A and B are shown apart, each in its own frame.
Chain A
Amino acid sequence: MQIINDLSKLEQGRHAIVLDIDSSDSMRRRLQDLGLIKGTEISCVQKSPLGDPVAYLIRGAVIALRYEDSSCVQIQCCEV
């Protein structure tokens, strides 16, 4: 089963495929520059001690995003 969700709901250790980025223009572009576009695989690698931000693995680099930004990224969770 595949679930469509936003990136902030992705659990630690799980993978997903990006469907769309709904954030403001500048953040959108910033994420795109990091290689985050439609179809990119992303996984959640580490939550910070206070729960926010969360670090994601994007194309070999670990990038931390705040809840406000990750919740704008639509994803499709991959099966475990």
Chain B
Amino acid sequence: MGLSKDSMGLKAVDLGLVIKKVHDSDRVIALGGNPNVGKSTVFNELTGLRQHTGNWPGKTVTNAQGNYTYKNTGYVIVDLPGCYSLMAHSSEEEVARDFICFGGADAVIIVCDATCIERSMNLVLQTMEITRNIIVCVNLMDEANKKEIDIDLQTISKRLGIPVIGTAARSKKGLNDLMEAAAQTIQDANKLPAQIQYPDYIETAISNIEPHVKEICEGDMDSRWLSLMLLHWDQDMHGFIEQNLKKSFLTNKRIKQTLDETKKGFACQGITERQIKDDIVSSIVHTAEEVCRDTVIFKNKHYKNKDSKIDCILTGKWTAFPIMILALMGVFWLTITGANYPSQLISDGLFWIEDQLLIFFKWIGAPWFLYEMLVLGVYRVLAWVVSVMLPPMAIFFPLFTLLEDAGFLPRVAFNLDKCFKKCSACGKQALTMCMGFGCNAAGVIGCRIIDSPRERLIAIITNNFVPCNGRYPTLIAIISMFFVGTSIGGGGSILSAVLLTAVIVLGIVMTFVVSKFLSKTVLKGVPSSFSLELPPYRKPQVGKVIIRSVFDRTLFVLGRAVLVAAPAGLIIWFMANVYIGDMAILAHCSGFLDPFAKLMGLDGVILLAFILGFPANEIVFPIIIMAYMTKGNILELDDLSLLKQLLADNGWTWITAISVMLFSLMHWPCSTTLLTIKKETQSLKWTVISALVPTVMGIGACFVFTALASTTFSK
């Protein structure tokens, strides 16, 4: 159901994985599989948690765990990032590999895509070499049915020597069978999964090395697999295995001797390292072919036709870009139109409560500073956050999730990749930007799907140019007040959507400009290789998406509002009511910032609000309103249309409005995002750069715009 509250904000910060068992007797089951086969859906259905799901590869970038009880036994289920093989190439694949190899799981469930089962077999076979406790879950059986793909699960199971269970996780089908199979696999000590047959020369080499390896590893690891890894010459893998097993193989005399002899033998026969690697991979792929031969039957050879017809339109030469812009505009139009009514309703309700609270406090005879502090400080900011910010967020989110679940995002990345390549960046950056619409912290974590460290840094630094969920309600509010008129009719909301899209497009253009600039300066380099899977389109579960994301969003925003907006309201109230000399602290601060802010087309209060909004962008606009109100002009503001009057009274013009929008689009990332960047880059330097780049761009843009606008229009 798209980004969930568990994958955003502070919870997005990856704290590493420590298995948390409820009881010591709990069993650990790892869920692995190719990207986008529904691992997280299986995980969510089993554990009742809400990991980020959606129809594009690479959503899950960290391990997540949850609990499940089956027949009185507790299980800890660990959701691993998707990977195509265990020879890790990227950091999220490493996470999966490390856990399957050394995470101490009692069993591993490899989730496969029923519509693409042969490809999934690669990972199944590789995992079978490491552990005998493996269960294959053939997910998306419902889709395979629709596409008329017949799968003989029993024969596949017989050929592999392990249980193979068909599931349709979205409708919870087959999950009980899956857990039953897992429970039995863990108990059964005499399993014999099939082995991959390698070419004779490799088999001979394995049988020479294996006895020596067996002596050292003492059953901690599969010795055949370890021997194969030693033959594989992969330096990274060697270091990684030795570090995890805390045992050294290469320094062992006998192993080293056997390895050297084998190498020499290979050299004499003219067998290169590359050939060994190729032969190992080919053997696995051919075994996968064998397993699927006659067991997977495509009754309808044209099952992909519908998808390619949609692709022709969504990624067509003339249609792709107009459709992307229209989709963005459409989403915003629905958001603006839809948010208007609940926004008004909520604000009426909340400000009615404010009046009642005031009456109540006066009635019980509370001291004035107490009720003013609580009601006019804390409660009012909370009310503003909820009424102005919540409705657009709650509507945008499910809409975006629908696009995500349908499979639109990978097509966006496909369409835009060439632009990213021109900036020496990675096309998957488009995916991380899309995530940024939900939450920049989640977007930054998502950058793990980008393999090249250089391109990942570019994506991390520029992620903030996409306004997150906490920022564009501000943009919407300003656009509708200053450029469309407060009463939003049909035509008005279309115009708002167009303007908002223009602002977003500006953010995207800035992303390209800055990406290009970074790859020409501090992050020099050429674009690296790139592969992106375009998954089949899926019909999103509309009802479920709407209920889940409205609920999720609402809870998330309310939670954040209490945590961040309430203290901010308190601070603002103090600043407005505590006097130093003959001026309130608020006036001192905003007065201090004012000259600089004026140059940017803002004023001291606005800049102060952006600074106080550092913990969460949602509260910037409410703080501005609060600060103006405590200056004592208007005490009651229960109508949204009075808002513009308030702003205009405080000197706002259309120049101010555009400057605020520019600065909202480009300024320092919120504290959570910065924390995530620090965690992801492990470097203070890149964290500081990530904060400076958008800030400098924003200040620059505001300066230039204000200077141009005031010289042009003052004459």
Hey, which bits of chain A sit against chain B, CB under 8 A?
A: 23-24, 26-27, 29-35, 37-38, 40, 45-53, 55, 57-66, 68-69
Q: Contact at A59–B116, with CB atoms within 8 Å? A: yes
Least Cβ–Cβ distance between A34 and chain B, in angstroms = 6
In whole angstroms, how far apart are the Cα atoms of A45 and B534 in the complex?
A: 11
Contact B304 A69 (CB under 8 A): no
User: Is there an interface contact between A57 and B417, defined as CB atoms closer than 8 Å?
Assistant: no
B321 interfacial contact with A, CB 8 Å: yes
Q: Which residue of A lies closest to B530 (CB)?
A: A66
0/1 string, B522-540, CB within 8 A of A gives 1? 0000010111111110000
Known: A52-B417, A64-B414. A37 touches B531 (CB 8 A): no
- Cα–Cα, bound, A22→B419 (Å): 26
Interchain CB contact (< 8 A) of B531 among A47, A57, A59, A63:
A63
- Chain B residues closer than 8 Å to A53, beta-carbon distance: 414, 417-418, 427, 530, 532
Decide: B419 and A35 in contact? CB cutoff 8 A: no
Q: Is the CB of A48 within 8 A of B417?
A: yes
Whether the pair A63, B116 counts as a contact (CB closer than 8 A) is no
B299 an interface residue at 8 Å Cβ cutoff?
A: no
- Asked if residues B285 and A31 are in contact (CB atoms below 8 Å), the reply is no
Given contacts A29-B277, A49-B320, 5 further A-B contacts (CB under 8 A): A30-B84, A33-B281, A60-B115, A60-B117, A68-B527
**What is the chain B residue whose CB lies nearest that of A40?**
B285
Cβ contact of A48, chosen from B281, B285, B320, B529, cutoff 8 A: B320
CB-defined contacts of A69 to chain B, threshold 8 Å = 529-531
Size category of the B interface is 35 or more
Q: Which of B89, B321, B418 contacts A52 (CB 8 A)?
A: B418
B interface list, Cβ under 8 A from A: 84-85, 87, 89, 115-119, 122, 277-278, 281-282, 285, 288, 304, 307-308, 311-312, 315-321, 414-415, 417-419, 421, 427, 451, 527, 529-536
Q: Are B421 and A66 interface neighbours, CB within 8 A?
A: yes
Assembled-state Cα–Cα distance A70/B536 (Å):
22
Given A30-B89, A62-B534, verify A52-B282 contact (CB < 8 Å). no
Q: Is the CB of A35 within 8 A of B122?
A: yes
Report the minimal beta-carbon distance from A68 to chain B, rounded to whole angstroms.
Answer: 7
A4 CB → nearest B CB, Å: 19
Q: Is B534 within 8 A of A63, CB to CB?
A: yes
Cross-chain contact A66 with B529 (CB below 8 angstroms): yes
- Chain A residues near B85 (CB-CB < 8 A): 29, 33
Asked if B530 and A49 make an inter-chain contact with CB atoms under 8 angstroms apart, the answer reads: no
The smallest beta-carbon distance between A60 and chain B, in angstroms, is 4
Q: Pick the contact of B285 from A26, A35, A66, A68 — CB < 8 Å?
A: A35
For B119, the chain A residues whose CB sits under 8 A away are 34-35, 58-61
Q: Kindly list chain A residues whose C-beta atoms are within 8 Å of the C-beta of B419.
A: 50
Q: B281, A37: Cβ atoms under 8 Å?
A: yes
**Bound complex: CA A69 to CA B115 (Å):** 26
Q: Report whether B531 and A65 are in contact in the complex, using a CB–CB cutoff of 8 Å.
A: yes
- Minimal beta-carbon separation of A52 from chain B (angstroms): 5
CA distance A40 to B418 in the complex (A): 27
> Given that A48-B417, A49-B320 are contacting pairs, would A23 and B529 also be in contact in the complex, using a CB cutoff of 8 Å?
yes
For residue A38, which residues in chain B have a CB less than 8 angstroms away from its CB? Answer: 278, 282
Residues of B within 8 A of A30 (CB): 84, 89, 529, 531
Complex-state Cα separation, A34 to B419, whole angstroms: 25
Shortest Cβ distance from A24 into chain B, in angstroms?
7
How many whole Å from A30's CB to the nearest CB in chain B? 6
Q: How far is the CB of B451 from chain A (nearest CB, A)?
A: 8
A29 — which chain B residues lie within 8 A by C-beta?
85, 87, 89, 277, 281
Given the complex, which residues of B lie within 8 Å of A23, measured CB to CB?
529
Q: A48-B415, A49-B320, A66-B417 are in contact. Are A33 and B530 (CB under 8 A)?
A: no
Chain B positions within 8 Å of A66 at CB level? 417, 421, 527, 529-530
**What is the chain B residue whose CB lies nearest that of A48?**
B414
* Chain A residues near B117 (CB-CB < 8 A): 60
Shortest CB-to-CB span from B237 to chain A, Å, is 12
A35, B117: Cα distance in complex, Å: 12
Residues of A within 8 A of B531 (CB): 27, 30-31, 34, 63-65, 69
* Distance A45 CA – B310 CA, assembled complex (angstroms): 12
* Chain B min CB distance to A56 (Å): 10
Q: Are A26 and B315 in contact (CB under 8 A)?
A: no
Give the residues in chain B near A63, CB-CB below 8 Å: 531-534
CA distance A71 to B318 in the complex (A): 25
Cα-based distance from A73 to B288 in the complex (angstroms):
22
Residue of A nearest to B85 (CB): A33
Closest chain B residue, CB of each to CB of A52: B418
Query: Which 10 interchain pairs have the tightest Cβ spacing?
Result: A49-B320, A50-B418, A27-B529, A33-B85, A33-B84, A60-B116, A62-B534, A32-B281, A64-B532, A69-B529
Contact B418–A51 (Cβ < 8 Å): yes
Chain A residues with CB below 8 A from B307, complex form: 62
Which of A33, A37, A46, A62 has the most CB atoms of chain B within a 10 A radius of its CB?
A33
Task: Write 18 A-B pairs (CB below 8 A) sorted by A numbering.
Answer: A24-B529, A29-B87, A34-B119, A37-B285, A40-B285, A46-B311, A46-B312, A47-B317, A49-B316, A49-B318, A55-B315, A55-B534, A59-B119, A60-B117, A66-B529, A66-B530, A68-B527, A69-B530
